[in-house]
Amino acid sequence: MKKVLVAGAGGFIGGHLIKELTRKGNQVRAVDIKPLNEWYQVSDEADNLVLDLRLRDNCLRAVNGYNEIFNLAADMGGMGFIENNKAACMISVLINTHLLIASRECGIDRFFYASSACVYNGSKQTDTNNPGLKESDAYPALAEDGYGWEKLFSERMCRHFSEDFGLTTRVARFHNVYGPHGTYDGGREKAPAAICRKVIEAGITRKKEIEIWGDGHQTRSFMYIDDCIKGIQAIMYSDINEPINLGSSEMVSINKLVDIVEDIAGYKLKRTYDLKAPKGVRGRNSDNTLIRKYLGWEPSIPLTSGLKKTYSWINEQMIEERRRLIGTSRYNR
């Protein structure tokens, strides 16, 4: 049994990771800034704390008595959020910095940092036919403004705490994680959840229209949450010292993503395109050469399979929300 701290426990990935860590019998401390009733998943088996980890004293309180840290904490969301909240994204640097300092002072054995494909040089992401971003493509640096630069700086902090103080650090660059129990509305959602929500809404309202951000030709790869959780643990307990990609290499256009969700829903929609909306880089995909070399494994759950589960979960949430609203409306008459 390990004593493990998960920072960002109230988030999408954090909630799934804690479920898996507690299932394996680990003693888990779960920490997030959000009130407990706003966490995406709450595990009663964990020691659940509400703390602002941007503050050093709170990091020391959270870390003390534990042996390993998974740092997933950050103020982030989909492209619509990170393009309009660059300062808020940058302030997350305090979380990783103070957790590293606390790790050194408390003698932490291992430290995992969740980085992002947003660290990659933007000039290598201008073509929809992206061949796959290699780990070396982060330099010379031209990261996503705000969020990407914070992630790249925090990667360097992990490296130097390892070099200077002997702290074992592991860094994974996530590529678009999706699945059940995630954000699907409110402005922080990513493309798979947003498209699922829009397709479901079109069916409910019977307008049978969908608005797509950009021209729909921009490309991405999307990793299902189960692959992400498996990869996090494999990287954490590996001998991989440098930042490494953790993402699917199954690249699709946003138009293709809509096609898949329409097939799941069983109806087609009229498409309109908002060319002024945030849309990010033109093409992004994960080159998985290194992770296959080190682990003999890579994320492989097909997009269609993962989207079916994600669509089903979001549909259930939206149906339940409509029932609550209808019930409230009847009650207030």
Q: What percent of the chain has pLDDT over 70?
A: 98
Q: What angle do CA 280, 14, 240 make, to 5 degrees?
A: 80
CA atoms of 62 and 73, how far apart (whole Å): 13
At 153-170, the pLDDT tens digits run 999 999 999 999 999 999
- Confidence grade of residue 29 (pLDDT, cut at 50, 70, 90): very high
Q: What's the distance, CA 25 to chain centroid?
A: 24
Q: Decide: 147 and 82 in contact? Cβ < 8 Å.
A: yes
Across the range 178-196, mean pLDDT stands at 94
- Confidence grade of residue 187 (pLDDT, cut at 50, 70, 90): confident
User: What per-residue confidence (pLDDT) applies to 287?
Assistant: 98
Is the confidence at residue 142, as pLDDT, over 90?
yes
Across the range 175-184, mean pLDDT stands at 96
Is the confidence at residue 64, as pLDDT, over 60?
yes
- Confidence grade of residue 278 (pLDDT, cut at 50, 70, 90): confident
User: What per-residue confidence (pLDDT) applies to 78?
Assistant: 82
Is the confidence at residue 285, as pLDDT, over 70?
yes
Across the range 58-82, mean pLDDT stands at 94
Q: How high is the mean pLDDT of the chain?
A: 95
CA atoms of 203 and 212, how far apart (whole Å): 16
Per residue, what are the HEC states of the chain? CCEEEEECCCCHHHHHHHHHHHHCCCEEEEEECCCHHHCCCCCCCCEEEECCCCCHHHHHHHHCCCCEEEECCCCCCCHHHHCCCHHHHHHCHHHHHHHHHHHHHHCCCEEEEEEEHHHCCHHHCCCCCCCCECHHHHCCCCCCCCHHHHHHHHHHHHHHHHHHHCCEEEEEEECCEECCCCCCCCCCCCHHHHHHHHHHHHHHHCCCEEEEECCCCCEEECEEHHHHHHHHHHHHCCCCCCCEEECCCCEEEHHHHHHHHHHHHCCCCEEEEECCCCCCCCECCECCHHHHHHHCCCCCCCHHHHHHHHHHHHHHHHHHHHHHHHHHHHHCC
- Confidence grade of residue 75 (pLDDT, cut at 50, 70, 90): very high
User: What per-residue confidence (pLDDT) applies to 323?
Assistant: 87
User: What per-residue confidence (pLDDT) applies to 125?
Assistant: 97
User: What per-residue confidence (pLDDT) applies to 80?
Assistant: 85
- Confidence grade of residue 330 (pLDDT, cut at 50, 70, 90): low
Catalogue the active-site residues: 147
Across the range 119-137, mean pLDDT stands at 97
User: What per-residue confidence (pLDDT) applies to 324?
Assistant: 85
- Confidence grade of residue 326 (pLDDT, cut at 50, 70, 90): confident
Per residue, what are the HEC states of 236-284? HCCCCCCCEEECCCCEEEHHHHHHHHHHHHCCCCEEEEECCCCCCCCEC
Across the range 125-143, mean pLDDT stands at 97
Greater confidence (333 vs 262) lies with: 262
Across the range 5-9, mean pLDDT stands at 98
Across the range 228-252, mean pLDDT stands at 98
